[in-house]
Structure 1
Amino acid sequence: MRLLAPLLLAAVLLGGCAGLGERDTAAGAGDGTGPMTFASGRDTTGYIQPLIDRWNQSHPTQRVTLLELPEAADEQRAQMVANLQARSDRYDILGLDVVWTAEFADAGWIVPLDRSMFPLDKFLPPVIDTATYRDKLYAVPYTSNAGLLYYRKDILDREHLKPPTTWAELRDQATRLGRKYKLGGYAGQFLPYEGLTVNFAEAVQSAGGQILSPDGTKVTLDLDKARTGLEFLTGGVREGWIPKEALAFKEEESRLAFQRGELLFARNWPHAYGPATRSPIGGKFAVTRLPGLDGPGSSTLGGNNLAISAYSKHQKSALEFIRYFTGLENERRVLTEGSFPPVWSELYDDPALIKQYPYLPVLKQSIMSARQRPASAKYDQVSLVISSAVSDALNFRKQADETVADLRQQLGEIIRTP
């Protein structure tokens, strides 16, 4: 079997259009079943282990051990990449940020899956694209995400105003009401990291543009639209309705500032909703879609997918665990116990869940109109270049025109580099 193992692994990785599930595959001895390790980001709400416990109770010979990686996505990726580059079989199931699918698939670190093994027709359509690379399914959507605009409903109601749907309305309300109520106007995630890349991408998309082609092979950055999106952000800093301290914000800092009642508007992910209801502004806020240049804007699609390591010796068990873990009832628990957006479409239309989570209809609209980040195997480099360039503009080290021109050139160099 030791002699056959490399051949079996090659069959998994080079098996043409066939995916795992169409035949027995095992990157090692045995029949592909056995105990597994599930490597994922830190479970901050404690809901994952009970789901694993349910599996373990009924699958004593295929027990799953949760290996919690750091909370920061960059650190998670670094640990996974180190493991996979070493061809280690320590990780069986990988919890991947949606932007990693292309990179991991292109490197041969995860195996293609048989679409017929999963109820993909029940999922929100955009989330399936995040798990696909070159027309093959390499992961299974597990949670989704889209940016939302959090706003102080009590203040807007007092002023007889509706939440902004355009940048002009956001600018006007953030400026006037910020001064009147002594609040910061608007904040997102503006520290130079992946969050700033996301905020910039949303601004470009909401101005009608895009950064790369969907397959990540071409730079499609229209200079006028990119400049318009960037000037929405730099203008806010210059005019003061984006507080300067927001330039150091990541998700947590912007969440806490809004919860403390320091901001009128904030861009954040849905996970910030639950904590806000238990904060001093509980009952005083609501959420809506991100505004855009001429109407509702476009969010960036987030979330996590589950994939199987190409070096796992228990791929058959891993496949069955993923089918269990992404089933309807567990997806319901993803929302009710984990406070994360599920991928099953019908959960967003459930009246009982909407009563408990009033933001679900808005979140569904945001996900359906969101755009996937480019499916590029070089996404990590792309994100670093974008966040660095945009940070320079926000801190007025470069003008918007120069920033977007330089950015297009740098992105072209990355995409063209073998």
Structure 2
Amino acid sequence: MRRLIPIALAVLLPVGCAGVGAQETERFGGTGPFTLVIGRDTTAYLQPLLDRWNQTHPGERVTLLELPEAADEQRAQMVANLQAKSDRYDVLGLDVVWTAEFADAGWILPLERGMFQLDRFLPPVVDTAVYRGKLWAVPYTSNAGLLYYRKDLLAKQGFKPPKTWEELREQAGALHEKYGIGGYAGQFLAYEGLTVNFAEAVQSAGGQILSPDGTKVTMDSAKAKAGLDFLVGGFREGWIPPESLSFKEEESRLAFQEGRLAFARNWPHAYGPATDSAVANKFAVTRLPGLDGPGSSSLGGVNLALSAYSKKQKSAVEFIRYFTGLENQRRVLTDGSFPPVWAELYDDPALIKRFPYLPVLKQSILSAQPRPASANYNQVSLVIASAVSNALTPPFEEAGDDIIASMKGQLNEIIRAQ
């Protein structure tokens, strides 16, 4: 995604950017039509935003290439393309956990911080794009998990939104028994989503899995077991329905908005569709619960990176700058219901009126923890998802201590091999 039309640039770029990029983009070569490759757009908001760019850049049109919805499948297709050193992909929509891997492999190019107004972004979001002191991508959307709940059912029972696991357990169990619906669900299929759910459980018990730089296994066995026990207990006691072992984001979203769940962990993009569903005006969101109080989400989102094999780098960089600018970020929220990266949008009264969850989401993002910046993150995630999936699957015969010990051993092997 690149371009160099100096006069139009001052109009299209956010205030404060126009005078910076012209010199700093000189090290990037090539202009012309290019591609944006990103995960499937489930809300159909993206193409109209790209059309706005194309209308003013007829010589540098961007073509959208959509990959599967699941992050694991997106990564597999991107890696196959980049390993072949193909120039078909120009701008890459990367899951925030891929920064280290793609940078280490030489698949993406570092960017100049001064080209982007990063000081106006949410600080934790910027951290996801930095690796070993360099900016390797630009945040495009952020994400933090939220607890969706049936406020109508809670009101009938005299419940307040749960802040702890024990409160969630009691309420989910009671609503499951009284109304014959699932008590709680997250993303429990054995894929990256399960890794996220487990990481959130560990963090919400006060622990972590790896050191922030991904070079050391720092998992406290007791805290990790507490997080695992919370999930296993839900399945064993029945307030987490067995069908949720097959849930990814969309399955859990549909189950909640069809009225089949009392509580659901999901990302903010599930909010919009729920307002036009069977639970419209009957639900609300709050922060994820934890062991002793509000929990901690995993930090999610998508960053835009420049392919090292692109032949249209100048146009691509200008597009990244444009597409992560303030006004486009506003449309990412209003048209796509995805969390923007500009901090000031979370405090906009008009946006809060339209998206009441913004204050909760802002606190969730600011209290979220990034997943480890490991160049072998995909292997880390596979080990975690596989171990946790085994623990959640009946007949629950393997002890939690043994599962955690085995997981730690495998993670140590991965780290030593880096």
- When normalised by structure 1's length, the TM-score is 0.92
Deviation at 1:177, TM superposition (A): 2.6
Q: Tell me, yes or no, if the aligned pair for 1:40 and 1:95 is still in contact at 8 Å.
A: yes
Residue in 2 that maps onto 1:286: 284
Alignment of 1:33-48 (within 5 A): 33-48=31-46
Alignment of 1:399-410 (within 5 A): 399-410=399-410
Residue in 1 that maps onto 2:307: 309
Among candidates 82, 95, 99, match of residue 84 of structure 1: 82
Residue in 1 that maps onto 2:263: 265
> Residue type matched to 2:38 in 1?
S
Equivalent-residue separation in structure 2 for 1:22 and 1:213 (angstroms): 34
Equivalent-residue separation in structure 2 for 1:244 and 1:54 (angstroms): 45
Residue in 2 that maps onto 1:349: 347
> Residue type matched to 2:370 in 1?
Q
Deviation at 1:33, TM superposition (A): 2.0
Could you say what secondary structure the match of 1:39 adopts?
Answer: strand
Structure 2 alignment gaps of length 5 or more: 1-20
Equivalent-residue separation in structure 1 for 2:99 and 2:155 (angstroms): 43
Equivalent-residue separation in structure 2 for 1:392 and 1:21 (angstroms): 54
Deviation at 1:46, TM superposition (A): 2.3
Q: Tell me, yes or no, if the aligned pair for 2:192 and 2:381 is still in contact at 8 Å.
A: yes
Deviation at 1:239, TM superposition (A): 1.2
Among candidates 213, 219, 222, match of residue 220 of structure 2: 222
Equivalent-residue separation in structure 2 for 1:408 and 1:121 (angstroms): 37
Q: Tell me, yes or no, if the aligned pair for 1:34 and 1:63 is still in contact at 8 Å.
A: yes
Residue in 2 that maps onto 1:7: none
> Residue type matched to 2:303 in 1?
N
Deviation at 1:247, TM superposition (A): 1.6
Equivalent-residue separation in structure 2 for 1:203 and 1:109 (angstroms): 32
> Residue type matched to 1:417 in 2?
A
Deviation at 1:281, TM superposition (A): 1.0
Deviation at 1:311, TM superposition (A): 0.9
> Residue type matched to 2:43 in 1?
T
Residue in 2 that maps onto 1:415: 415
Equivalent-residue separation in structure 1 for 2:68 and 2:229 (angstroms): 34
Equivalent-residue separation in structure 2 for 1:20 and 1:134 (angstroms): 26
2:244 matches 1:246: yes
Equivalent-residue separation in structure 2 for 1:152 and 1:250 (angstroms): 20
Residue in 1 that maps onto 2:26: 24
Q: Tell me, yes or no, if the aligned pair for 2:148 and 2:263 is still in contact at 8 Å.
A: yes
Instruction: Give aligned-pair identity as a percent.
Output: 76
Residue in 2 that maps onto 1:68: 66
Residue in 2 that maps onto 1:106: 104
Q: Tell me, yes or no, if the aligned pair for 2:41 and 2:66 is still in contact at 8 Å.
A: yes
Equivalent-residue separation in structure 1 for 2:222 and 2:412 (angstroms): 17
Residue in 1 that maps onto 2:372: 374
Could you say what secondary structure the match of 1:173 adopts?
Answer: helix
Equivalent-residue separation in structure 1 for 2:70 and 2:237 (angstroms): 32
Could you say what secondary structure the match of 2:63 adopts?
Answer: strand
Equivalent-residue separation in structure 1 for 2:260 and 2:304 (angstroms): 37
Equivalent-residue separation in structure 2 for 1:127 and 1:195 (angstroms): 19
Residue in 1 that maps onto 2:15: none
Equivalent-residue separation in structure 1 for 2:285 and 2:22 (angstroms): 40
Deviation at 1:61, TM superposition (A): 2.1
Deviation at 1:241, TM superposition (A): 1.3
Equivalent-residue separation in structure 2 for 1:144 and 1:21 (angstroms): 29
In the TM superposition, structure 1's runs of 4+ consecutive aligned residues that sit over 6 Å from their partners are none
Larger mean Cα displacement after TM superposition, 256-265 or 53-62: 53-62
Residue in 2 that maps onto 1:146: 144
- When normalised by structure 2's length, the TM-score is 0.92
Equivalent-residue separation in structure 2 for 1:43 and 1:291 (angstroms): 29
> Residue type matched to 1:414 in 2?
I
Q: 1:25 and 1:231, CA in 2 relative to 1: closer, same or farther beyond 3 A?
A: same
Q: Tell me, yes or no, if the aligned pair for 2:72 and 2:191 is still in contact at 8 Å.
A: no
Could you say what secondary structure the match of 2:269 adopts?
Answer: helix
Q: Tell me, yes or no, if the aligned pair for 2:163 and 2:293 is still in contact at 8 Å.
A: yes
Larger mean Cα displacement after TM superposition, 60-69 or 157-166: 60-69
Q: Tell me, yes or no, if the aligned pair for 1:21 and 1:113 is still in contact at 8 Å.
A: no
TM-superposition CA deviations, 1:65-90 (whole Å, max 9, x none): 11222222222211111111111111
Q: Tell me, yes or no, if the aligned pair for 2:108 and 2:307 is still in contact at 8 Å.
A: yes
Residue in 2 that maps onto 1:5: none
Alignment of 1:171-186 (within 5 A): 171-186=169-184
Q: 1:335 and 1:239, CA in 2 relative to 1: closer, same or farther beyond 3 A?
A: same
Residue in 1 that maps onto 2:18: none
Could you say what secondary structure the match of 1:205 adopts?
Answer: helix
Q: Tell me, yes or no, if the aligned pair for 1:148 and 1:270 is still in contact at 8 Å.
A: yes
Equivalent-residue separation in structure 1 for 2:185 and 2:62 (angstroms): 40
Equivalent-residue separation in structure 1 for 2:189 and 2:215 (angstroms): 27
Deviation at 1:181, TM superposition (A): 2.1
Q: Tell me, yes or no, if the aligned pair for 2:32 and 2:61 is still in contact at 8 Å.
A: yes
Equivalent-residue separation in structure 2 for 1:172 and 1:138 (angstroms): 45
Equivalent-residue separation in structure 2 for 1:211 and 1:316 (angstroms): 39
Larger mean Cα displacement after TM superposition, 73-82 or 353-362: 73-82
TM-superposition CA deviations, 1:85-114 (whole Å, max 9, x none): 111111111111111111100101000010
Q: 1:310 and 1:21, CA in 2 relative to 1: closer, same or farther beyond 3 A?
A: farther
Pairs aligned (count): 396
Structure 1 alignment gaps of length 5 or more: 1-18
Q: 1:177 and 1:53, CA in 2 relative to 1: closer, same or farther beyond 3 A?
A: closer
Deviation at 1:20, TM superposition (A): 11
2:209 matches 1:207: no
